[in-house]
Amino acid sequence: MATAALTSTQVKATSENGSLKWLILLTVIIGTFLGRLDQTIVNLALPNIITDFHITVTDAGWIGTAYILANAVFVPIWGKLGDTIGRKKVYLIGFVGFIIGSVLAALAWNLPSLIVFRVIQAVSGSADYPTAMAILTATFANQKDRAQALGIWSSVFGAAAVFGPLIGGPLIDSFGWRSVFLINLPVGVIGTFMALTFITESKLPDRIVKFDWFGAGFLAISLAALVLVLDQGTSWGWLSEYSLITYAVTLIAGCIFVAIEQRHPEPIVDLKFFKNIIFVNTLINNFIVFMGLMGSIFLVPIFAQQFLGYSATQTGYLFIPMAIGLMFAAPFGAALVGRVKPGIVIGTSTLVAAFGLYLFSFLDVRSTAIDIMIPLMIMAAGLGFGMSQRTNAVAQAVPASEIGVASSVLALVRNISGAFGIALFGSLLNWAEVKNVLQIDSLSHLYVHTATAVATFTGLIILKAEVDAYALIYEIAAGILLVGALFAFLIVVPDREVDQQAMMAE
């Protein structure tokens, strides 16, 4: 029997030391929050970066695209490495690398240098999710405590998206765009010290003979092509030459990856996971929920600024109730672990989130801040209510020895679903606007043909068409989440405690 770096004595000590395990949770929360905050906060700085570097909006788009690509590609690789060489070690490598990349990004002198440094940030930051989840699973032996910890940690993803505009706006206005990168340094130093002090090392038994580099390579190629077309497809055209090439690369590289994984003794992604009905249903629910939420919520700031006349800072304030709903609902949902079946909690939470999104379909140019805040709070409460159960379902569905890889697959699904949702709803919005213009124009009549009347008539048609398009998008998003709820009710997690000492032997 092989022994992992985390001994049974250490596991027991960690589990029994209540203060230590919650300090470990706080430690990984800092890392996760910092990485996810960076994704949202940098978008606010793009106008200033465009001005400083004298680049176009299209050029600036690659700052975000490069980050998304690198982040998606390396999540599964870090997950496997964490299980192999140690989760604490990989977590620290990724966290320190992210801080170094942040400082370099703050010192960037042109667009190419900034893109390179953003890639360094993304590659390093992608180590956080799979290792953090595995660390928490190893730390919290009790099922209810684990579910609560995973729920609180998972809620950080939504909280970071909300606090990004709140923190970023004042930073940029007061200190310039470089400050959104430099702010990571002091927080990162604290997070690194806490990780070195509190986190206990854990990994699988030393049985890895050969790392699956070929599988990792073809997975990276397939994911890079997929995320690239999702990010650029709207501007390229979904049937353009560039898009067709990326579709082909995604499919071919993906097929080669599957063929390699079926034969490799230590695959990057164990395909047997996809024979586990609990794992598959949870992934489907996560994909649908995050596709619907990310694909529709990114339109809220655009609507608020374009049709309600809000500034960027005022728009950020609209998301405060969302943070409140998320942070209060997550612990409440975690408290239901062991009392209510996970499928019921996840399904109900998805229905609540769907209702919140549906309320957005009533927005128009006369809407107030309350009309946006209330749906955001309801949607976030629904998401937070089921967050711990979603994450815990994955942790329960696979052996403890595979939690790093399984969590990396969950992170990968969330990343891709978000990119897919943004691409889908962006395209749907454009299609709906054109359709509505033609439909409204055919039903409208102008009896005064002065230049002013024609301009006003045309403007009103376009305004009505655009507002109605947003309503359609949110109705579709709510419908998608209803489908996700159906898959959630199919999730049946065995009522069992996962003994961490299973990590010690095979």
pLDDT digits (tens, 9 = 90+) for 324-360: 887 778 778 777 777 788 888 888 999 999 999 899 9
| Correct CATH for 7-211 of 3.90.550.10, 1.10.10.10, 1.10.357.10, 1.20.1250.20 | 1.20.1250.20
Torsion of CA 475, 476, 478, 479, to 10 degrees: 120
Greater model confidence, 114 or 213? 114
d(CA 239, CA 244): 6
Q: Answer yes or no: is pLDDT of 448 > 90.
A: no
pLDDT tens-digit map of 116-143: 999 899 888 888 877 888 888 778 877 7
CA angle 141, 143, 144 (to 5 degrees): 120
CB atoms within 10 A of CB 88: 23
Q: Which range in 17-21, 157-161, 283-287 is most confidently predicted, on average pLDDT? A: 283-287
DSSP 232-274: HHHHH-TTSHHHHHHHHHHHHHHHHHHHHHHH-SS-SS-GGGG
How high does pLDDT run on average in the chain? Answer: 79
Beta strands in 48-159 (DSSP E): none
pLDDT tens-digit map of 266-276: 777 778 778 88
Look at the block and give the residue holding tokens 């996809």: 274
For domain 275-506, say whether CATH 3.40.50.300 is its number: no
pLDDT tens-digit map of 232-270: 777 788 889 998 999 999 999 999 989 988 888 777 777
Domain ranges of the chain: 7-211, 275-506
Question: Residue 220 has what pLDDT?
Answer: 82
Question: Residue 354 has what pLDDT?
Answer: 92
Q: Answer yes or no: is pLDDT of 16 > 70.
A: no
The length of the chain in residues reads 506
Q: Which two tokens stand for residue 21?
A: 């395990």
Phi, psi of 482 (to 5 degrees): -65, -40
d(CA 125, CA 29): 13
d(CA 478, CA 362): 13
Question: Residue 234 has what pLDDT?
Answer: 74
Judge residue 235's burial from the number of C-beta atoms within 10 Å of its C-beta, 0-12 exposed, 13-18 middle, 19 or more buried: exposed
Closest CA to 384 of 345, 419, 357: 345
pTM attached to this predicted model: 0.72
Conformational region of residue 237, where left means phi above 0, alpha means psi within -120 to 50, and beta covers everything else = left
Q: Answer yes or no: is pLDDT of 1 > 50.
A: no
Q: Which two tokens stand for residue 83?
A: 């299980």
Conformational region of residue 309, where left means phi above 0, alpha means psi within -120 to 50, and beta covers everything else = left
- Is 133 within 8 Å of 230 (Cβ atoms)? no
